[in-house]
Amino acid sequence: MAIPEHADARTVRTLRVLLIAGAVAAAGVTLLLPGDAALAQDAQLLLVLQAMALIKAALLAGVGWALWLRARWPLPRSTRLVYLTSIWLMAGATGAIWRGDAIALAALAFHLGLAALAITAWRDRMSRSTATRAKHTDAAPAAPKDTAPTKIQRAA
């Protein structure tokens, strides 16, 4: 299998716009919803949750950057759908954790999105390193080298 060429610019741009717009929309919607008034009373717990949300946001930024780079090569439609949906789910969950809303559900959503991303990336052939990709090219395998001298070579 040869390494495919770069994806066309329009597809890359569309994927990147969907990535950013969807993540911002998902996080924005959860931040605009009314929060839990009881949790707002406990400032220390809210501070811990917001610190946890910042860690999740950093992880989300790293995953988003990896997908941003991955968009340069063609992606099957199903893979593209899983990547985008997972990132949007993670962004919405991060916003909900920041607000302190439905923490258990938000944590479950974040980790389901992360697991879906990890499984999809593991099965995505082009997300592997270039060294791994080089193994799957159409190049003919090198002939095995016989280092032991043959009877004719020993006799000479």
d(C-alpha 63, C-alpha 85), whole Å: 13
Task: Report pLDDT digits (tens) over 56-104.
Answer: 999 999 998 888 888 888 888 888 889 989 999 999 999 888 888 788 8
User: Considering its fold, how many domains does the chain have in total?
Assistant: 1
Q: Domain range holding 95?
A: 9-125
Residue 49 domain-assigned (yes or no): yes
Residue 3 domain-assigned (yes or no): no
Residue 134 domain-assigned (yes or no): no
Residue 148 domain-assigned (yes or no): no
Residue 71 domain-assigned (yes or no): yes
pTM of the model as a whole: 0.69
Task: Report pLDDT digits (tens) over 86-95.
Answer: 999 999 999 8
How crowded is the C-beta side of 25, counted as CA atoms within 13 Å? 9
